[in-house]
Amino acid sequence: MKRIVILLSGRGSNMQAIVEACAAEGWPAEVAAVVSNKADAAGLAWAAQRGIATAVVDHRGHPDRETYDAELARVIDGFAPDLLVLAGFMRILSAGFVRHYEGRMLNVHPSLLPAFPGLHTHRRAIEQGCKLAGATVHFVTAELDHGPIVAQAAVPVLPGDDEASLSARVLEREHVIYPLAVRWFVEDRLALADGRVSHRDGLPQHLF
Catalytic (active-site) positions: 109
Sign of CA dihedral 109, 106, 177, 88: negative
With residue 15 as reference, give the H or E element that holds it. helix 13-25
Q: What is the dihedral of CA 119, 116, 181, 204, to 10 degrees?
A: 160
- β-partners of residue 139 are 106
Question: What is the side-by-side order of every strand in the sheet holding 2-8?
Answer: 53-56, 29-36, 2-8, 83-86, 105-109, 132-139, 149-156, 206-207
In single-letter form, the type of residue at position 11 comes to R
Nearest to 85 by CA among 94, 75, 76, 95: 76
